[in-house]
RNA sequence: UGGGCUGUAGCCAAGUCGGUAAGGCACCAGACUUUGACUCUGGCAUUCGUUGGUUCGAGUCCAGCCAGCCCAGCCA
């Protein structure tokens, strides 16, 4: 799949070009720094793609780094899932796999240095007090009474914090910057806090943990990251990022650049709501095919190349935007149209009896595995007097423009005869349950000799030659395009689409589908793209429908 | 009403030094078609949030205004 290795230029590449030309950097090094507190989603894939492609395009390196500075929110379970998703995407962390927590010793050392340089101090303010002292968006903050504590005192206190002498929340280490800065992040931000928590890698070694704003620039600098690419909500943190690298005095300073995160119609990207969907059993886990998670998309049958193609086509900018999920669907269809093997499946079978076909006779018709790629071969499908066709391919009272089968109408059976419907049998509910038809034996793979035009073509299967399966159609999980802006604490169920999952049982598949594996994607002819579910046997998931220009009315 | 960022078609998004609005998706029309798919052809912004200014000439420069997003966690 060459697509994921192609990228148009964007403003980040312009910055890199500039830095390379000026000689500011010689080699590009980026990283993807997920916090292991949830599963990766398609928005994460954008961050991965931007960082990975920047490194790849310039022959640089790309790291995976677990941002695990807060032990109370992180879990080892997510670490494995993240790496699996990253590797599935094909974004090889050739620069290495790291853990932010591996730098705790270094962070501690730099914190002491800052104290000794008079640039950080231990503060005894409680959380509430600190909030008061911080001021507001429009009013400057005021200095903490502990701000001018002596270096010796702060150093002593900080070491005792580390030794576990103080209760959680009793003290913090703060950077001494500017309490009147219009940027709230610069008003003496906390850089270390006391947390008596077990860390998934460090165990009980620490009871003080660095804050993101302090740890992240250090991690970047230590790994030799040149361009620290993150999403736009960190823009306000950039002055602090620079303050940290400046004041610790790194020789090679990484720089942070921000891009707009990915929003998409009919879904949510926040881990908080995704978790809620899982916990309330609204969906069947993080890998429910309706979820925007990478494991969900994978189970639904999406490919890494289609996902990256979607991200590339959307582009990279700083403008708040809402990507259209239809573009994602377009990307997977475009790829699968090219690569998926064609198969026949009847999702909602309607029985057809061919009254003029000799009872007990079977003949075979050749079906191409891919109409545009003869090199992919073909296979033979049996034809008998008892067939199934798709319910939706027959209308007892056809609407205008309906090209398929109707009473006394004709239709082409794909790769076989022209079929005529002579009689309709209805069930108790008035629904057609069987069609009595005849076949024009002269039209075996030929056009009618009399020149009459038969426009519709439908797919069919011999009733005696099928596998049975369940087929699941997934539609948008939410019924509102901009659902993310409508969600409040507990109202998301009113936005769940009624038809987000539609299950069809008793579907009839052509025999070869009985041996399908869970990583083969098929086009069920005229129906869409499908893949065998990886969790439940005998189930096929619809990856995407085919486009249709048939619009009744 | 403090600061930062953003504003080009229904959606996304290019637009170097100011020179007369790329491309993709969607949509519409037509051709082709034994998948109403695919493919192909054509159409789709006299106008760039807005108002002024500078200029022979402004999406690009300047000033003001408007709108949206982010920031007052010992979260990331």
Which of the four pLDDT bands, split at 50, 70 and 90, describes residue A553?
low
- The two tokens of residue A7 are 């990228």
Nearest protein residue to the C1' atom of B3, measured from CA: A182
Is residue A447 over pLDDT 90?
Answer: no
Asked whether A327 and A21 are in contact (CB, 8 A), the reply is: no
Is residue A6 over pLDDT 80?
Answer: no
The residues that bridge with A435 in the sheet, in sequence order, are: A352, A424
Question: What's the pLDDT at A5?
Answer: 40
Alpha carbon distance, N-terminus to C-terminus of chain A: 40
Please name the helix (run of DSSP H) or strand (run of DSSP E) that holds residue A132, with its range, or none.
helix A127-133
Which of the four pLDDT bands, split at 50, 70 and 90, describes residue A7?
low
Question: In the complex, which nucleotide's C1' lies nearest to the CA atom of residue A171?
Answer: B74
Distance A31 CA to B71 C1' (A): 25
Least confident of A198-202, A348-352, A362-366, A492-496: A492-496
Chain A residues 4-33 with Cβ under 7 Å of strand B are 9-11, 14, 33
Q: How many CB atoms lie within 10 A of CB A404?
A: 19
Distances (CA, A) of A478 to A86, A264, A501: 26, 11, 11
Q: CA A465: distance to chain centroid? A: 38
Which of the four pLDDT bands, split at 50, 70 and 90, describes residue A451?
confident
Question: What's the pLDDT at A9?
Answer: 85
Strand B at less than 7 A from CB of A167: no
Question: In the complex, which nucleotide's C1' lies nearest to the CA atom of residue A458?
Answer: B35
Question: What's the pLDDT at A551?
Answer: 79
Strand B at less than 7 A from CB of A106: no
Distance A455 CA to B32 C1' (A): 13
Q: Which long-range contacts (CB under 8 A, 24 or more apart) does A165-170 make?
A: A166/A194, A167/A194, A168/A194, A168/A195, A168/A196, A169/A126, A169/A127, A169/A193, A169/A194, A170/A124, A170/A194
Q: How many CB atoms lie within 10 A of CB A126?
A: 13
Distances (CA, A) of A328 to A161, A255, A304, A324: 50, 32, 12, 7
Q: What is the pLDDT of residues A325-338, one digit of tens each?
A: 999 999 999 999 99
Chain A residues 488-527 with Cβ under 7 Å of strand B are 523, 525-526
The residues that bridge with A478 in the sheet, in sequence order, are: A496
Confirm whether pTM is higher than 0.80. Answer: yes
Which of the four pLDDT bands, split at 50, 70 and 90, describes residue A377?
very high
Do strands A349-354 and A432-440 pair parallel, antiparallel, or not at all (unpaired)?
parallel
Chain A residues 208-227 with Cβ under 7 Å of strand B are 209, 211-213, 216
Distances (CA, A) of A125 to A114, A133, A141, A520: 20, 9, 14, 60
Q: Which nucleotides of B are covered by protein (CB under 7 A)?
A: 1-8, 10-15, 23-26, 28, 34-39, 68-76
Which of the four pLDDT bands, split at 50, 70 and 90, describes residue A248?
very high
Distance A211 CA to B1 C1' (A): 32
Q: What is the pLDDT of residues A32-74, one digit of tens each?
A: 999 999 999 999 999 999 999 999 999 999 999 999 999 999 8
Q: How many CB atoms lie within 10 A of CB A470?
A: 16
Strand B at less than 7 A from CB of A136: yes
Distances (CA, A) of A51 to A39, A62, A239, A375: 18, 7, 21, 38
Judge if ipTM > 0.90.
Answer: yes
Nearest protein residue to the C1' atom of B2, measured from CA: A138
Chain A residues 237-296 with Cβ under 7 Å of strand B are 237, 260
Any catalytic annotation for residue A35? yes
DSSP SS3 for A198: coil
Question: What's the pLDDT at A2?
Answer: 32
Any catalytic annotation for residue A112? no
Do strands A539-544 and A467-474 pair parallel, antiparallel, or not at all (unpaired)?
parallel
Distance A240 CA to B53 C1' (A): 38
Q: What is the pLDDT of residues A398-414, one digit of tens each?
A: 999 999 999 999 999 99
Any catalytic annotation for residue A326? no
DSSP SS3 for A304: helix
Question: What's the pLDDT at A192?
Answer: 98
Is residue A23 over pLDDT 50?
Answer: yes
């Amino acid at each position: 799949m060459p697509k994921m290795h192609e990228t148009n230029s964007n403003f980040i590449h312009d910055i890199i070009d500039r830095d390379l030309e000026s000689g500011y950097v010689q080699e590009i090094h980026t990283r993807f720094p997920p916090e292991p507190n949830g599963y990766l989603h398609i928005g994460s894939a954008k961050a991965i793609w931007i960082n990975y492609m920047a490194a790849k395009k310039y022959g640089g390196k790309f790291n995976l780094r677990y941002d695990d500075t807060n032990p109370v929110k992180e879990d080892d379970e997510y670490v494995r899932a993240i790496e699996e998703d990253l590797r599935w995407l094909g974004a090889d962390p050739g620069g290495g796999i790291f853990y932010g927590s591996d730098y705790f010793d270094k962070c501690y050392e730099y914190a002491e240095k800052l104290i000794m340089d008079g640039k950080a101090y231990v503060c005894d303010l409680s959380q509430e007090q600190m909030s008061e002292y911080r001021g507001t968006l429009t009013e400057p903050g005021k200095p903490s009474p502990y701000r001018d504590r002596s270096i010796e005192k702060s150093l002593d206190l900080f070491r005792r914090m580390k030794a576990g002498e103080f209760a959680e929340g009793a003290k913090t280490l703060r950077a001494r910057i500017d309490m009147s800065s219009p940027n709230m992040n610069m008003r003496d931000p906390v850089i270390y806090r006391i947390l008596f928590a077990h860390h998934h890698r460090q165990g009980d070694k620490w009871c003080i943990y660095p804050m993101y704003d302090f740890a992240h620039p250090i991690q970047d600098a230590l790994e030799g990251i040149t361009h620290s690419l993150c999403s736009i909500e960190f823009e306000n943190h950039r002055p602090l990022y620079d303050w940290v690298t400046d004041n610790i005095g790194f020789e090679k300073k990484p720089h942070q650049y921000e891009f707009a995160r990915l929003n998409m119609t009919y879904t949510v990207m926040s881990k908080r709501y995704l978790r809620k969907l899982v916990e309330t059993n609204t969906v069947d886990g993080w890998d429910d095919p309706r979820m925007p998670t990478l494991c969900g998309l994978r189970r639904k049958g999406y490919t890494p190349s289609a996902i990256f193609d979607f991200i590339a086509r959307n582009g990279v900018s700083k403008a708040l935007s809402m990507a259209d999920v239809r573009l994602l669907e377009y990307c997977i269809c475009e790829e699968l149209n090219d690569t998926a093997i064609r198969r026949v499946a009847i999702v909602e079978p309607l029985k057809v009896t061919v009254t003029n076909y000799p009872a007990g006779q079977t003949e075979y018709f050749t079906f191409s595995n891919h109409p545009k790629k003869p090199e992919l071969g073909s296979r033979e499908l049996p034809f008998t007097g008892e067939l199934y066709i798709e319910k939706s391919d027959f209308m007892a009272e056809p609407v205008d423009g309906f090209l398929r089968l109707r009473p006394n109408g004709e239709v082409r059976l794909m790769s076989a005869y022209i079929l005529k419907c002579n009689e309709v049998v209805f069930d108790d509910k008035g629904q057609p349950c069987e069609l009595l038809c005849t076949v024009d034996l002269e039209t075996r793979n030929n056009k009618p000799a009399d020149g009459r035009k038969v426009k519709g073509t439908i797919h069919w299967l011999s009733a005696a030659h099928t596998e049975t399966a369940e087929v699941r159609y997934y539609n948008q999980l939410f019924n509102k395009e901009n659902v993310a802006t409508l969600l409040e604490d507990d109202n998301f169920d009113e936005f769940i689409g009624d038809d987000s999952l539609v299950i069809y049982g008793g579907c009839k598949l052509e025999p070869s589908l009985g041996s399908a594996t869970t990583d083969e994607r098929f086009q069920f002819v005229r129906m869409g793209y499908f893949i065998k579910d990886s969790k439940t046997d005998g189930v096929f998931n619809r990856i995407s429908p085919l486009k249709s220009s048939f619009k009744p009315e």
